Chain A
Amino acid sequence: MYKEICVKYAPNKDNLIYILHEIQDAHPQHYISAEAVHEISEYLKLPENHIYGVLTFYSMYSTTPRGKNIIRLCESPPCYIKGSANILRKLKSILDVSVGDTTKDGKFTLELCACLGVCGNAPVMMINDDVYGDLSEEKVEDIIDKIRGRN
């Protein structure tokens, strides 16, 4: 599977970031395995340590398995001022996880992230590619319930 993704891109170093993105998105556990790094290294003819260097530099990549849905709560000051700390407390309690962990059923991983650029509707979180704004504790419960129902 990793090979198939690699060959979509020309074997140039500047495609590394895109290959990593696509491999991570394609993996059901949204992470980049050691095996994937090995494959990329062979394809791009880059040492594995360069790939790990890049991989660990950017916060969106993970080297450990994650849940089906990735929750990224904005921890930047505009959201903090509008009460993101309460939202985090709520998320932790309904999911029963701490930051960086995955729920037991493997459905959610809770992460914090830098500004999502939707500060006019703070506090904000992103679940996969969808942005949810003007969060309140009730709203968060609703959103999580809906996603749980869908999956």
Chain B
Amino acid sequence: MSLKHIDLLICCGSGCISAGALKIKERFHEVLREHKATNEVNIIETGCMGPCDYGPVMVIYPEGIFYQHVTPEDVEEIVSEHFIKGRPVTRLMLQNEEKTFSIQKDVPFYQKQIKVALENCGYINPESLDEYIATGGYEALGKVLTEMSPQDVINEMKASGLRGRGGGGFPTYIKWQMVHDNKGAEKYIICNADEGDPGAFMDRSILEGDPHRILEGMMIGAYAMGANMGFFYIRAEYPLAIKRIKMAIAQAKEMGLMGENIFDSGFCFDAEVRTGAGAFVCGEETALIHSIEGERGNPTPKPPYPAVQGLWGMPTVVNNVETFGNIPTIFRKGAKWFASMGTEKSPGTKVFALTGDVRNTGLVEVPMGTTLRELIFDVGGGMIGDHKFKAVQLGGPSGGCLTVEHLDTGVDYESLKERGSMMGSGGVIVMNEEKCMVNVAKFFMDFCVEESCGKCSPCRIGLKQMLAILERITSGFGREGDIEELQRLGESISKLSLCGLGQTAPNPVLSTIRYFRDEYEAHIRDRSCATKVCKDLMHYQIDKDRCIGCSLCARNCPVKCITGSREEKYIIHQVDCIKCGNCYDVCPVKAIEKEPGMHPDTVAHRSELGKAVNRYEDL
């Protein structure tokens, strides 16, 4: 007999775990034992609830009360006040200047969201098959297997208009149709969970928070194309996701939802988990297939497409996690319902990962076509502090930067592409006015150079050249013509590279040149970084009027380039300064200032020494 009258849902997504969610869960068990109330509360670990920045977060039903930034010290109060006396703890609720948001669905972060792939994330216990079934789970599979032919399934997918959520936006039904029409003896379906785009973590969250949904989506696809074997390729950096999907497979087998003759339809299916070992390029489908085969994860030219010749030479479909996540709902609610959301060419919803200088970092799902302004300012809560919005990088290292003038652009595959960016997997990195765009572009380029597999020369050699030019520019040795050279290289690398990594790697550079050309020019011509991020293009200066002559800066300077006395005050010898920032940090009266531009002394010194200090001279 259950006396439980409270469901306590603790977000145990990776973000909240890293903020201490598991300690809080332990503490709840302890405190409930002390109060002899363990039989009144269900403690449920859920997947990611979305607002990582508020973590650790939790929701308490039946009321749906939302608590944020909970610490182990708060647990006693939650139990004694809320659970026992029915008085929710207001100070743990989200508050702004005007009001307190007690109920989860009222929190502004959730308001403009429509959840399809994330429907159950943060709502059910991901380790419970029963809870997934309670939300309508496996109904779609049952319906598909008992009432529809494989071609019916593909037709329904075509009507839904679902496009691959991994980045390319290729219509999902076309891949399925190709494999369906191919009369191979063995066919395979692969779930691509090698999520590596910096700033994207939706695949991990869905796998961790609702693994059965992905399994169901995969099985519907397998039935449509005639595959009896599936693989989850998950990156090794995601141990929890690996554990959860393995558990889901075991549960589905035990329940008879997987294995032989599912739903008495004659359809048989089995799936296995395969893991990577740290290689970004394995997100590319041909590289991924080679990795499963036990090879180096090098991509190979297409055609032949995996749909014709994939895993072990057999017809294979590779779909992304989020793509599979949409499928059960499409078959439960109908293709028409799905297509009614979003835009004409990009129907449905898309999950975005908000990161960077935005207030509410986390995972959100909105209809396609939602504007960047709504995404960043309404759902995302705007910029942190008093900072201004400067740019947003969409699509990770393959995408491009957009600016203030694009804020009213609707987010869909075509609109972003037109403006030199791309959807990618849905990473949204928001940047404030303190970020140097040349430096950001260099950073993305550095990532691509490191992750290039080295197989084709445009990517291996070309990206390295681009990085060298960017380093030259940011260290004050930029030359006239560098911008044009970057553009020329970027365009040829895009055209000539073998796989998506190389084809899209120049995008961050090309898009920042397009929208922030003046910053590049200032770096090259004026030897100045206005944001004072590039160390060679800024300098520190001591304000004589404010300096009190305490000598703290001089004593903390690692290269002894600050001299002076209490009477004469202190000065920095610019030529020797390594810009470590120690003096800036220790000055008790904030007399040291960061100034944009290379100091004239340094300019003179460099031109005097010429080649001796310019390691880029021969480049």
- Pick the contact of B237: A16, A61, A116 (CB < 8 A): A116
Provide the residues of chain A in CB contact with B237, threshold 8 Å.
Answer: 113, 116-117, 126
Which residue on B lies nearest to A74, using beta carbons? B198
Q: How far is the CA of A38 from the CA of B547 in the complex (A)?
A: 66
* B297 touching A82, Cβ below 8 Å: no
* A57 touching B293, Cβ below 8 Å: no
Mask of A69-95 contacts with B, CB within 8 angstroms, 1/0: 000000011111110000000000000
* B279 touching A59, Cβ below 8 Å: yes
* A78 touching B356, Cβ below 8 Å: yes
Q: Is A129 an interface residue (CB 8 A)?
A: yes
Q: Is B37 an interface residue (CB 8 A)?
A: no
User: For window 274-305 of chain B, which residues contact chain A by CB distance below 8 Å?
Assistant: 274-280, 291-298
Provide the residues of chain A in CB contact with B238, threshold 8 Å.
Answer: 117
Q: How far is the CA of A131 from the CA of B240 in the complex (A)?
A: 11
* A78 touching B429, Cβ below 8 Å: yes
- Pick the contact of A124: B18, B292, B354, B357 (CB < 8 A): B18
Q: Is A37 an interface residue (CB 8 A)?
A: no
Q: A54-B295, A120-B354 are in contact. Are A60 and B18 (CB under 8 A)?
A: no
User: For window 281-332 of chain B, which residues contact chain A by CB distance below 8 Å?
Assistant: 291-298
Q: Is A12 an interface residue (CB 8 A)?
A: yes
Mask of B437-453 contacts with A, CB within 8 angstroms, 1/0: 00010011001001101
* A58 touching B444, Cβ below 8 Å: no
Q: How far is the CA of A53 from the CA of B276 in the complex (A)?
A: 15
Q: Is A121 an interface residue (CB 8 A)?
A: yes
* A17 touching B277, Cβ below 8 Å: yes
Q: Which of B116-124, B135-143, B199-207 contacts A (4 or more CB under 8 A)?
A: B199-207
Provide the residues of chain B in CB contact with A17, threshold 8 Å.
Answer: 274-277, 291, 294
- Pick the contact of A119: B236, B294, B355 (CB < 8 A): B355
Provide the residues of chain B in CB contact with A131, threshold 8 Å.
Answer: 14, 17-18
* B453 touching A57, Cβ below 8 Å: yes
Provide the residues of chain B in CB contact with A16, threshold 8 Å.
Answer: 294
Mask of A92-136 contacts with B, CB within 8 angstroms, 1/0: 000000000000000000000111111111101010010111100
Provide the residues of chain B in CB contact with A116, threshold 8 Å.
Answer: 237
* A117 touching B429, Cβ below 8 Å: no
Provide the residues of chain B in CB contact with A117, threshold 8 Å.
Answer: 14, 195, 200-201, 204, 237-238
* B447 touching A114, Cβ below 8 Å: yes
Distance (whole angstroms) from the CB of B25 to the closest CB of chain A: 15
Q: A14-B294, A82-B356, A120-B362 are in contact. Are A21 and B52 (CB under 8 A)?
A: no
Please count how many residues in chain B sit with their CB below 8 Å of the partner chain's CB atoms. 56
Distance (whole angstroms) from the CB of A86 to the closest CB of chain B: 10
Q: A76-B447, A115-B197 are in contact. Are A21 and B15 (CB under 8 A)?
A: no
Q: How far is the CA of A129 from the CA of B14 in the complex (A)?
A: 11
Q: A77-B447, A120-B355, A121-B52 are in contact. Are A59 and B278 (CB under 8 A)?
A: yes
Q: Is A15 an interface residue (CB 8 A)?
A: yes
Provide the residues of chain B in CB contact with A122, threshold 8 Å.
Answer: 355, 361
Q: A21-B275, A82-B356, A129-B239 are in contact. Are A118 and B292 (CB under 8 A)?
A: no
Q: Is A150 an interface residue (CB 8 A)?
A: no
Provide the residues of chain A in CB contact with B292, threshold 8 Å.
Answer: 14
Provide the residues of chain B in CB contact with A119, threshold 8 Å.
Answer: 198-201, 353, 355, 361, 427
Mask of B339-362 contacts with A, CB within 8 angstroms, 1/0: 000000000000001111100011
Provide the residues of chain A in CB contact with B295, threshold 8 Å.
Answer: 13, 54
* A120 touching B353, Cβ below 8 Å: yes
* B453 touching A77, Cβ below 8 Å: no
Distance (whole angstroms) from the CB of A32 to the closest CB of chain B: 11
Q: How far is the CA of A38 from the CA of B134 in the complex (A)?
A: 52
- Pick the contact of A18: B14, B17, B275 (CB < 8 A): B275
User: For window 374-396 of chain B, which residues contact chain A by CB distance below 8 Å?
Assistant: 393
Distance (whole angstroms) from the CB of B531 to the closest CB of chain A: 12
Lowest 3 CB-CB distances: which A-B pairs, in order? A120-B52, A133-B18, A76-B198
Taking A77-B443, A80-B443, A115-B196 as given, write out 18 further A-B residue pairs in contact, using a Cβ cutoff of 8 Å, ordered by the A residue number. A16-B294, A20-B277, A76-B199, A78-B429, A81-B355, A113-B278, A115-B197, A118-B18, A118-B52, A119-B199, A119-B427, A120-B15, A120-B355, A120-B363, A121-B361, A131-B17, A132-B18, A134-B18
B residues with a Cβ closer than 8 A to A are 14-15, 17-19, 52-53, 55, 195-201, 204, 236-239, 274-280, 291-298, 353-357, 361-363, 393, 397, 427, 429, 431, 435, 440, 443-444, 447, 450-451, 453
A-B contacts, 11 listed (Cβ < 8 Å):
A13-B294, A18-B275, A54-B294, A57-B296, A59-B277, A61-B277, A114-B198, A118-B18, A121-B15, A121-B18, A131-B17
A residues with a Cβ closer than 8 A to B are 12-18, 20-21, 53-54, 57-61, 76-82, 113-122, 124, 126, 129, 131-134
